[in-house]
Structure 1
Amino acid sequence: MLRAFRFIVDLFTQRHGVVAFAFFLVLGILMHQASPTVRESIVDKALSTVFYPVQLLLASVNDFKSMQAENEHLKAENARLRQETYHASEGLQELARLHTLVRFDDKWDFPIVTSRVVGHNPGRFLTTLVINRGTHHGVKENMPVMSMNGLVGKISKAMLTHSRVQLLVDPNLKLSVLERRTRVVGFLESVDGHLLSAMIPSHAGVAEGDTLITSGLGGIFPKGIPVGTVHKVRKADLDVMSLMDVKPFQEFSTLEEVFVMQKEPDWIIQELLDE
């Protein structure tokens, strides 16, 4: 049919007027002498031959639009499935963390309030966090804050539904620590808001890799909470003391959930704090 269409077009484009006239004259005579059924068949074939390229073009356009719409639908479906997979993975990780939290709660003599980190200070160094638990949940100032890895800090300000956590690296937080192997007591603080250092008597023989825990002195933190490991031992200004760089067990920038231990300061220490 396509060849017949091209043949008819060539008759006119090449200006074969005589041939075209003879062709249509013969076609008219045949149509006149043919039966109605034959004439209808010839007309149908002629029309289908003429309109076939147009129909083919329209069909191709419709197919292209259909494929384009299906492609957009598949892209949207793929994005939705990727999002669902991501949320499922996050849910499994959170479930594993919560399972560990439940077991962690049984290790201490004080009730534990689990909370989520919802903010932190915008300064150069991370020294404070904001959690989504406050006085409405039994959280009070000076309560210890921990993670599954170790000590984080303490509650510095408690509001109704939120609280501020003062981290170990805050220069204003001082901590009494105990070296687990030698059982010697030292003093931990941060000078620059970034690194931790401990002052421990030189005669104790504390070495790199030793573990520091809370000593229980001071009345705020109970004894035995892991703090960090001795990273480097240096000489202090006093010969009887050694200055040690301490690497905390908990990386504060990766915190998502923390525990608030519902332990209020001992009454003697509280009196000193109030003075």
Structure 2
Amino acid sequence: MKNRILLILALAFVVLGCSDRYAIEKRYWGLQKQAGDIFGNPHSTPPRQIEQVVKKFNGFANKYPGTNLAIDADFTIARLYAAKEDFDKAREQLSAIMKKYSNSPVIVSEAMALYGNSYEMENKWGLAVNEYKKVYEKYPYSRAGFELPIYIARHYKAKFQPESMNEAYMEAVAHYKTLIQDNTDPRIAINAYFLMTNCYMELKDWNAVVSAYDSIIKNYKDNPKAQSAVETATLNKALIYATQLKNLPKAKEILAEFTKRYPRSRLIKVANNLLKEIEKNAAK
């Protein structure tokens, strides 16, 4: 979680000069070592020790406001409280982050997702779901906004609740369809299409999977920036015909067209090998 947050936030703020940055990073990783000791054994860590470390992270964040490490420090405080199962303080810190960085959808959406996760850690799934839905309704194009609809469905799958799982996957499909319809950015639409196919796969609706792949191919086949996605969709479509719909002639047709249309594709070896395998099986 820590590394992902750093990676996301690195795009949002200006970094300091190299010499200053080295000294600051050295100090920060020292703080992280102290936090790591707590994360390694949170239940045996005295509350006073946690508050001392929290105070140091707060001091760091206040001294270097707006930097990547300061933002990570703010999130680390919330994670420390959550690890100690002091969820009220964790949520209080996350609320402070949302207010502090209210102009950054990236940061706010991450904080909101963690806010929901704190309820999940507390075994309050109903409250967690409510918070998760707020994230993808308010920030649908954020990392969390894309991932959480499927995350909710997978929770029900892990809990062996098929009806709730199917309902959640259908809600996710509806969410991704809305993103596709409301957006002209091909990157967002393509991402939503692929996530939608994941939902259909879990529902074992193979014709719907094929239809989604067809939409990617049809809508973006002439877009040079989307070529990789189109190639992936085409190959995946062939795989669905071969393995799920048991239509080997159709799979062979798609793969043959793929090898002609994309001879330099990064997937050409996979396509050729699959085509050979299908031809071998057809000859038996």
Query: How would you bin the TM-score normalised by the shorter chain?
Result: under 0.3
* Alignment TM-score, normalising by the size of structure 1: 0.26
Q: Where is the helix percentage greater, Structure 1 or Structure 2?
A: 2
Structure (1 or 2) with the larger CA radius of gyration: 1
Q: Where is the strand percentage greater, Structure 1 or Structure 2?
A: 1
Which one has more relative contact order, counting CA pairs under 8 Å at least 6 apart? 1
